[in-house]
Structure formats: C-alpha cells, structure tokens
C-alpha cells in the first residue's frame, strides 16, 4: 500500500490530547505518523471539518441477533422471562444466524466500530469471507449448569477453539482472534468456570462472563431459589451442586482473575467489596457497561461513578439487538455523557476505544491513533473551535467515513 495522509480539523489520538489541524499518515494498513499539519511535508487529503478518531471497540455483543429490528420482550417482566424469549428465538425454524452475523458486521462498520468481541455460538466459518470485516475476537460461548456436563462442555469448547485456530491459519487474518465465554452463573457451574479459566490462562485467551446482571441472579447464588431456579428446572438443567451454598459474584471474580484478560459483563449489582477486588485486578479485569441495554431492563442506576472512583476499569459494549436498537458504541458513549455528566468526556471516549482495547489485550493493535497500530479510523463531522470530544458526545453526528486497516470501508 502506497503511504497516504489524511488532514482533519481535529485528530483525536485518545492516548494524547486532541490535535487541531492534524494529519495522520498511513502505510501498509498501519498508522505511520500523527501530528500537526504544519509539521507535515507532502501531499495530503483534506477531510475538512471532521474529527478523526480511532475506530470504536465493542467489547460485548451477540451478533447472532442482528436481524432483529426491535428488542425482544418482555423486558419489564425480569431477566429470566426475557431469556425465555431468547431461547425461543434461537429455536426458530426460520432463523438464519449466518445472515444475522453478516448484517451485524456490516452495521457495526457503519457506526465506526472496527473491533468487536462477539459471544459466538455459531460455527466460526460464518464470520469468514465477509469483506470488509471488522477485527473480531470470537468468544466461544459455553453453557453447562449441570456438573455432569462439565467435561463434555469443556471438550466442546476446546474442539471449537481448534477449529477456529485452523480457520485462522488458513485465512492469515491478523484481525481475527478467539476467546472463551462461560455464559453466566445461572447457566455454567463453578467447576466448569474453573476449567475454562484455566484453559484461557494456558492459551492466553480473553474470557468474558455475564455476572451480577440481575437481582434474580443474586437470589439464585445466595439462596438457590427464585425465577432462575424455576427456569433451570423447567429446562431440566437444575443441579444443586453447580454452585456452592451462599455464593456471591465474588466467588466467580476470584476464578476469573486467573485469566490474563477477563471481562465481567454488566456487573449491575456488584457490591463494594467486589468493586475493590476488581480495582485490585484492573490490570487484567474489566467491567463492560452497556448503558442502553441497562435502560431497556429498567435496572437501578448503574454505579459508573462509584466504579471509576474505586479504580475499576469500565469499558463500553452494545450488547445485542435483542436488547438494544443498534450496534453503535458512539450511541452508548453519548448515553453515558447524558446520564453521567460528572464523568469527563475524554474518559468516556477512552471507554469505547483505548480502555476497551486494553480490556481485550489489543492495546498494541487498536484503540488509539498511534504509530504501529492498525489504521482503523472514523471521521465524524466536527467544526468545534475547541473541546471536540465534548461536541461529538453531545451531538447526533454519524460517521462520514470509516477506514479499516487503511482501506476505506464506509464512505
């Protein structure tokens, strides 16, 4: 690829302050240089009044539900009832998961999302051959609450990872990686979590788990009863030995901390001691906040300020179209800016870019406009005379262009 340069009213590297009248030079799909236009020597494409940002990083979604035009219901009846809707949707005879995934990949790019951590339940080949395709971390979902299924589910995950590795070797795609996702405390036994975390640590894979998502989940852990037990019994999945008596999310956090990169998805109802534990392990553990999905389920206010004050790494995710109107990380950041005005907009932007990349172990590849990283860029209309991040997170502008590994993917 012949080197080329892009000039913008604002360049927002994220790992350094905004650059007014900035230029980014790209070569061989990577960022070569970033700096002031006045210091640049050579031809340049002037993008005009835009802000040039790193591509957004979506740390949590389920692309298999991207064919939904509206979220699944009934959210007002609690998470267990909503999960029944999800189970029914997965069993639809007309369901085309491959088409949904392809639609989700394309939609994500239009929103400027260039790196995605997807909870994968479909064969890995569903993701191959899509062009242009965002960088992908396919987190293989594990479900097995019964302790009798621990070994069979573990073996299934190892087999799926081997298939993924084989496809990856064939494609030689640097933007494709893999990981593991034990689904949630109400679908995965603690014994299975331990085995999967050990595998993730051994293979240096990221791991993600829904945790402390609802009060019904906490009731199941604490008392062994409630709506989730009813759902498990209904599906012939209940096993009294799957979780210890009087369990808490901390029991799972302690297991997850053994992995090199673990994502705690949602964490809506983590207590102070659990936040302290996450803070102590912020180098390897992150919490994923999906604000519009949080609002859809009408949870109590998310403790974002408390988490950040405690030193917890919090990153942004969209969740899926089963609980969200679209797959835009920018929309999630704007929702946070509206609901948490005390949090600096620069910090919010990092939650959808650099901090998100760090949570996945991708900080050397994505999340900031830094020499040597992928040239994954988003141009957003922005004529602000100052404070461009403030304007971007309090406007309704949409990406005008998106570059993926230096190639124009959306225009």
Residue 225: is its pLDDT beyond 80?
yes
pTM for this structure?
A: 0.97
- What confidence score (pLDDT) does residue 250 get? 98
Count of CB atoms situated within 10 Å of the CB of 56: 30
Residue bearing the bigger pLDDT, 125 or 58: 58
From the list 63, 74, 133, the residue with the least C-alpha distance to 98 is 63
Instruction: Judge residue 14's burial from the number of C-beta atoms within 10 Å of its C-beta, 0-12 exposed, 13-18 middle, 19 or more buried.
Output: buried
Who contacts 280 (Cβ-Cβ below 8 Å, separation ≥6)?
A: none
At 289-338, the pLDDT tens digits run: 999 999 999 999 999 999 999 999 999 999 999 999 999 999 999 999 99
At 143-190, the pLDDT tens digits run: 999 999 999 999 999 999 998 887 765 555 678 899 999 999 999 999
- What confidence score (pLDDT) does residue 106 get? 96
Question: Measured between alpha carbons, how far is 38 from 161 in angstroms, rounded to an integer?
Answer: 49
DSSP letters for 320-383: -TTTSS---HHHHHHHHHHH-TTS-HHHHHHHTTHHHHHHHT-TTTSSS--TTSB--EEEEE--
Question: Measured between alpha carbons, how far is 224 from 59 in angstroms, rounded to an integer?
Answer: 30
Q: Would you call 176 helix, strand, or coil by DSSP?
A: strand
Q: Would you call 271 helix, strand, or coil by DSSP?
A: coil
Question: Measured between alpha carbons, how far is 79 from 70 in angstroms, rounded to an integer?
Answer: 17
**Average pLDDT over the chain, rounded to an integer:** 95
State the number of CA atoms in the 13 A half-sphere of 64 facing the CB. Answer: 21
- What confidence score (pLDDT) does residue 163 get? 87
Q: Would you call 11 helix, strand, or coil by DSSP?
A: strand
Q: 97-119 burial string, b = 16+ CB within 10 Å, else e?
A: beebbbbbbbbbbebbbbbbbbb
The structure tokens listed for 310 are 């405690």
- What confidence score (pLDDT) does residue 208 get? 99
Residue 64: is its pLDDT beyond 70?
yes
Window from 76-90, 275-289, 305-319 with minimum mean pLDDT: 76-90
- Phi, psi for residue 48 in degrees, rounded to 5: 80, -150
- Phi, psi for residue 294 in degrees, rounded to 5: -55, -45
The structure tokens listed for 118 are 């997807």
Q: Is the dihedral angle over the CA atoms 201, 205, 206, 212 positive or is it negative? A: negative
- What confidence score (pLDDT) does residue 172 get? 58
Mean pLDDT, residues 94-119: 94
- What confidence score (pLDDT) does residue 394 get? 98
Residue 118: is its pLDDT beyond 60?
yes
Question: Which pairing describes strands 113-120 and 407-410: parallel, antiparallel, or unpaired?
Answer: unpaired
For the chain, which domains are there?
Answer: 4-53+369-410 (2.30.40.10), 56-360 (3.20.20.140)
Question: Which pairing describes strands 262-266 and 30-36: parallel, antiparallel, or unpaired?
Answer: unpaired
At 18-54, the pLDDT tens digits run: 999 999 999 999 999 999 999 999 999 999 999 999 9
Residue 57: is its pLDDT beyond 70?
yes
Who contacts 176 (Cβ-Cβ below 8 Å, separation ≥6)?
A: 127, 135, 136, 138, 167, 168
Q: List the beta bridge partners of residue 8.
A: 22
- What confidence score (pLDDT) does residue 171 get? 55
How much of the chain, in percent, has pLDDT values that exceed 90? 88
DSSP letters for 235-254: TT---TTSS-TT--HHHHHH
């Amino acid at each position: 690829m012949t080197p080329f340069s892009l000039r913008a009213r604002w360049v927002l590297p994220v790992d350094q302050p905004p650059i007014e009248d900035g230029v980014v030079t790209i070569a061989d799909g990577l960022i070569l240089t970033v700096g002031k236009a006045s210091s640049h020597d050579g031809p340049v494409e002037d993008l005009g009044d835009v802000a040039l940002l790193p591509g957004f990083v979506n740390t949590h979604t389920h692309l298999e539900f991207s064919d939904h035009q509206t979220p699944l219901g009934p959210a007002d009846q609690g998470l267990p009832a909503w999960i029944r809707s999800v189970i029914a949707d997965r069993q639809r005879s007309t369901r085309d998961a491959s088409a949904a995934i392809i639609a989700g990949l394309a939609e994500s790019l239009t929103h400027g999302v260039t790196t995605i951590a997807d909870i994968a339940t479909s064969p890995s080949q569903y993701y191959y051959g899509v062009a242009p395709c965002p960088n992908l971390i396919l987190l293989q979902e594990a479900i097995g609450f019964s302790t009798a299924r621990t070994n069979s589910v573990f073996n299934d995950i190892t087999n799926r990872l081997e298939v993924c590795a084989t496809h990856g070797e064939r494609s030689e795609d640097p933007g494709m990686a893999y990981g593991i996702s034990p689904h949630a405390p109400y679908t995965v036994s603690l014994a299975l979590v331990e085995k999967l975390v050990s595998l993730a640590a051994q293979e240096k894979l990221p791991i993600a788990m829904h945790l402390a998502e609802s009060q019904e989940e906490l009731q199941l852990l604490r008392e062994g009863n409630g709506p989730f037990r009813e759902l498990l019994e209904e599906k012939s999945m209940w096993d009294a030995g799957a979780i210890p008596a009087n369990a808490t999310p901390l029991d799972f956090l302690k297991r997850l901390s053994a992995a090199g990169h673990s994502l705690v998805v949602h964490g809506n109802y983590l207590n102070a001691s659990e936040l302290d534990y996450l803070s102590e392990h912020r180098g390897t553990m992150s919490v994923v906040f999906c604000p519009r999905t949080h609002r859809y389920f009408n949870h109590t206010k998310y403790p974002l300020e408390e988490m950040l004050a405690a030193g917890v790494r919090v990153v942004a995710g969209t969740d899926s179209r089963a609980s969200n109107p679209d797959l835009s990380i920018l929309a999630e950041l704007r929702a946070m800016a509206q609901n948490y005005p005390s949090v600096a907009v620069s910090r919010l932007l990092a939650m959808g870019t650099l901090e998100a990349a760090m949570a996945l172990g991708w900080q050397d590849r994505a999340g900031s406009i830094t020499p040597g990283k992928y040239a994954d860029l988003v141009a957003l209309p922005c004529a602000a005379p100052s404070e461009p991040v403030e304007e971007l997170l309090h406007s309704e502008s949409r990406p005008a262009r998106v570059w993926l590994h230096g190639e124009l993917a959306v225009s």
